[in-house]
Amino acid sequence: MAFASVELNIAKDKSANEAVVNEDTLPLSITVTAEKRPQSLQKVPISITALTGENIEKSKITSIVAVQQLAPGLTITQASTGQAQVYIRGIGTDIVGSGVEDAVPVYIDGVYQSRSSGTAMQFIDVDRVEVLKGPQGVLYGRNATGGAINIISKVPSWESSGQFDVQAGSYNQKIVRGTVSGPLSEAVSGRFSFLHNQNDGDTQNVLLNVWGNSSVVDGLRGSFEIVANDELLVTVNAHYYQDNAKPIMKPLYPAVNPLFTTFGATVISDPRTVMQNTQLDISMVQTGIDAKAEWDWGSKKLTSITAFHKTDYNIKSADLDGTEIQLMNVGSPTTGIGIPEITNYFSQDFTLVSSNNSPFAWTGLLSYSHQTVDAPGFNFSFPILNMTTNTVATVSTDALGTGGQGTYSFENGLRLTAGARYSTETKNLEKDQTYANDILTGSMTDKKTWSSVTPKFVVDYSLDKNNMLYASATEGFKSGGYNTVTIQPAFNPETAINYETGLKSNMFDDRLHLDLAAFYTQYNDMQVSLVLNQLSGGLYSEVRNAAKAVSKGIEASVVAKPTDSIELSGGLQFLNARFVDFVTIDPRYPTAGAQNLNGNPLSRAPDTTANIAAQYKWPVANGAVSLRGEGSYRSVIYYTPFKNDYASDPALTLWNALLSYEHSGKAGLYGTVFVKNITNRTYTTGIFDPQGLGYLAYYAPARTIGVQLGYKY
């Protein structure tokens, strides 16, 4: 779903990653690159939510975590390690570790973010966000069973410009941002941006007398656009990003939680107050550079993207039981060694596309990536038992993919598209596992290769220039991997086959956009955490391909601009995502034996999601003022496959309001006063059960109020 109008003045339209909008287009037109070529959003036969930079600024969206409030079917939660877990239409993964990838890949400027620790980075100078729903196996390759998210940064301008703003808000939040852009020579332009965002948090640890749910983020981004000649454009991006966060996990349900019933932890009813002996301390640093070269040969265009990035993620310390009991901790606040993970990633992608002017449009792709994830310590301590555990693992991955698609357009408005991608991937694992006194209890060295062919077929028909019908069958696959927490064999890839039909319609001189879609997805060989009986009578878990599911539903989005002053948008999805084959033991009720979870909802798959927004804009002296209201709804979600009410979050409705001013000229002041979560709803962003010690939760921020003031030129 696209929101609001876009007006961009682009001096040199050389780069395909810009949201290009012709000044002659009508109010709601926007171009996206979801299919690796510039296309009108309303002409792409895919269900897409597209947010422009203007939308992002209007709603004060800081990362993809907030995008879910504007994209029906998108759910993002937190893992026990604080990392983001992305789900689209109920498809995602709650398995974390150095040998596992997400099921919804996130790309920044065409570069795959290979670890979940990097997917929720705060936005720095973003031009557009595209949420592609459903499997994307041809154009986005592996790990796209649920969909894909593209984040596109703003490119250097060929006129001098800049903007700076400051923001202050609840919990002592301070945000400072800035961007300068312009030509450095006749052939080179540059753009430089920075971000500093910090807050003191909203939850108090009364035992240590410190506040949590706090963070400090610093980011830098530089970009150069080099016009080598009439045929070649080179764009180089470099970035540095650092996030130091102290989230807090809150124990739930004392009446049935062994932390309280067995170990006698102190009961605290206030969700914003805890008593913990160790503070959760997480750091993440990512540095990277990528270069995109675009050769435009008229009838075809070749794009090469070469990228290097390094991510250093470390859970320095954590109280995994969430209480004052010295039961289970991670690392030490004094040593700073807990669960470190260092990722080095390299990728090379080539895309060759034909001109849009021919009846036959085609796209060819070739990609290679190499990744090494070093987890030099998975350190747990059980002080009450005088026991420690540690797992050391290194996982390297080599992935190669090639394929493409072609579309033939008939004169009567019919288009036929077919495509396929061949992917092969090899993972190498080296792992040692030790317990107290560094006693080696297990080691494993293994190598595994998987290959897959993912096809795509689409037929679409333009009834006229404003209405298009489409039907598609697409497949995606998520690569196999290793469970680095324990010693077990590799698990295999999972696949999703999606059948979809939809309508995209423009009405009333392009002032109303309506998108409708119905989908049916077969989700096979799901990678799940399977609980099994040991020969000794105890329980243990393994990650196996042990489940099947079906995700089906309908969705609609509408955007309207009835006048130049009024802007309306909304979205709705009804989802039925259920297991059809999954037999496992509920570790909470092991005496019940293995259960068939057929009919249970998938984790983090709400039956209903919806959003609505309304904005009114009126002129004032030297500028305009706009008042915006936003609402989102999500029905109950479950965090485990057992449909357990103790690990669920009830139906949630959130409301935001924003009042903004912007100067009418190219240069001038702008500002916003906003309130997020107006009704001060208390809700979770993640629930988990570490080692059977009882459910713990991350809570979302309480009501926040903020003021932003800036200047642009």
Whether residue 437 is predicted with pLDDT greater than 70 in this model: the reply is no
Confidence of residue 686 (pLDDT cuts 50, 70, 90): very high
Determine the 3-state secondary structure of 67 from DSSP.
helix
pLDDT at position 2, please? 35
* Angstrom distance (rounded) from CA 365 to CA 421: 9
Write down all domains in the chain, each with its CATH number in brackets.
Answer: 31-712 (2.40.170.20)
pLDDT at position 538, please? 64
| 614-658 pLDDT, tens digit each | 999 999 989 999 999 999 999 999 999 999 999 999 999 999 999
Confidence of residue 355 (pLDDT cuts 50, 70, 90): confident
| 511-563 pLDDT, tens digit each | 999 999 999 999 999 999 887 776 555 667 789 999 999 999 999 999 999 99
Confidence of residue 687 (pLDDT cuts 50, 70, 90): very high
Average pLDDT over residues 470-483: 95
Q: What angle do CA 309, 312, 316 make, to 5 degrees?
A: 170
Say what the pTM is: 0.92
Mean pLDDT lowest among 175-179, 240-244, 299-303, 386-390: 386-390
| 213-236 pLDDT, tens digit each | 999 999 999 999 999 999 999 999
Whether residue 10 is predicted with pLDDT greater than 50 in this model: the reply is no
Q: What's at 402, amino acid-wise? A: T
Average pLDDT over residues 119-127: 92
Long-range contacts of 437-441 (CB under 8 A, 24+ apart): 438/390
Contacts (Cβ under 8 Å, ≥6 apart) of 614: 566, 567, 568, 628, 629
* Angstrom distance (rounded) from CA 394 to CA 443: 12
In this prediction, what percent of the chain has a pLDDT beyond 90?
A: 75
**What are the DSSP calls for 105-136, one per residue?**
-EEETTEE--SGGGTTPPPSSEEEEEEEES--
For the chain, the maximum distance between any two Cα atoms, rounded to a whole number of angstroms, is 79
**What sign results for the dihedral spanned by CA atoms 138, 142, 146, 149?**
negative
Whether residue 597 is predicted with pLDDT greater than 90 in this model: the reply is yes
pLDDT at position 231, please? 95
Whether residue 159 is predicted with pLDDT greater than 50 in this model: the reply is yes
Whether residue 339 is predicted with pLDDT greater than 50 in this model: the reply is yes
| 11-49 pLDDT, tens digit each | 344 444 443 333 333 446 788 999 999 888 889 999 999
Q: Around Cβ 447, how many Cβ atoms within 10 Å?
A: 11
pLDDT at position 535, please? 59
pLDDT at position 19, please? 39
| 362-381 pLDDT, tens digit each | 999 999 999 999 988 777 77
Mean pLDDT taken over the chain: 90
Average pLDDT over residues 698-706: 95
| 373-404 pLDDT, tens digit each | 998 877 777 777 777 777 889 999 999 999 99
Of 265, 318, 172, 259, nearest to 701 by C-alpha is 172
pLDDT at position 25, please? 36
Confidence of residue 3 (pLDDT cuts 50, 70, 90): very low
Whether residue 8 is predicted with pLDDT greater than 60 in this model: the reply is no
Whether residue 153 is predicted with pLDDT greater than 60 in this model: the reply is yes
Average pLDDT over residues 322-343: 80
Whether the Cβ atoms of residue 136 and residue 151 lie closer than 8 Å to each other: no
pLDDT at position 608, please? 98
